[in-house]
Amino acid sequence: MRIVSFLAAVFLATGAAAQDWQAVERVEPYSVQGTTGLEIYQSIGARGPKLGVARVIAHTGFKLTWTRKYERQGDACVITVNKPKLIITYTLPRLKSKLSGPLKDRWGTFISGVTAHEKVHGDFIKDMVKEIEAMSVGMTVESDPNCRKIRPQLQARLGELSQAQRARSRDFDQVELNDGGNVHQLVLQLVDPR
């Protein structure tokens, strides 16, 4: 019985260590209006968040900071703590117009689908942070007693993980936004339900 209790305690402790942070997720709405699906979509086009030079329906952004501890162990430098603080912000349209009937239902389907799409981007960001945490805790650089060599090596690896997350998001958007994709279908159903 003691062995089972000990193993359960070890399991709980290691599970808690791996899950001792949670992302803060918040919605930053922008107002849109209209009495038809086309008017609502035009309002989104005029007021949506800017991404580069174009406006988009919605956007997922994040702020990521770390509490990191570097320790000298003999002649090496080791990262012993790397705890993230992640804030994910979903910028989504909020309809100010009062709707009824089929258009109200179409708007509900549209905003639910767009929100679900953005949540996938949020999941990709969380996955990246977990990968950074797993890769960096215990990272060791030999012959670095002053912990100077480890920082550029860590930054290079962080850059690789960040680029991988961006590529994953771009690939997802390409599928979802292209003709016949999920978001494309949501827009068509809002504007012209036929």
Tokens of 102: 């089929």
Task: Establish if 12 belongs to a structural domain.
Answer: no
Check pLDDT > 90 for residue 19: no
Q: Which amino acid is at 162?
A: S
In a domain, 3, yes or no: no
Please indicate, yes or no, if residue 94 is contained in any of the structural domains: yes
Q: Is 11 part of a structural domain of the chain?
A: no
The proportion of the chain whose per-residue pLDDT surpasses 90, expressed as a percent, equals 84
As a whole-number percent, the residues of the chain with pLDDT over 70 amount to 90
Helix (H) or strand (E) holding 91: strand 76-95
Q: What are phi and psi of 22, to 5 degrees?
A: -135, 145
**Per-residue model confidence as pLDDT tens digits over 50-102:** 988 899 999 999 999 999 999 999 999 999 999 999 999 999 999 999 998 99
CB 95, CB 112: distance < 8 Å? no
Q: In terms of C-beta density within 10 A (0-12 exposed, 13-18 middle, 19 or more buried), how is residue 128 classed?
A: buried
Per-residue model confidence (pLDDT) at position 100: 85
Please answer whether residues 7 and 68 qualify as being in contact, where contact means their C-beta atoms are separated by less than 8 angstroms: no
Mind listing the pLDDT tens digit for each residue in 147-190?
A: 999 999 999 999 999 999 999 999 999 999 999 999 999 999 99
For Cα atoms 32, 53, 93, give the angle at the middle one, nearest 5 degrees. 20
Count up the domains in the chain and report the number.
Answer: 1
Domain residue limits at 116: 20-191
Q: Does residue 156 lie in a domain region?
A: yes
Q: Is 159 a member of any domain? A: yes
Nearest to 164 by CA among 117, 128, 139, 134: 128
| Summary mean pLDDT of the chain | 89
Residue 13 lies in a domain: no
Res. 47: pLDDT tops 90: yes
Mean pLDDT of the region 135-139:
95
Residue 15 lies in a domain: no
- Number of Cβ within 10 Å of residue 21's Cβ equals 14
Does the pLDDT of residue 145 top 90, yes or no? Answer: yes
Q: Measure the CA angle with vertex 13, ends 8 and 15; round to 5°.
A: 95
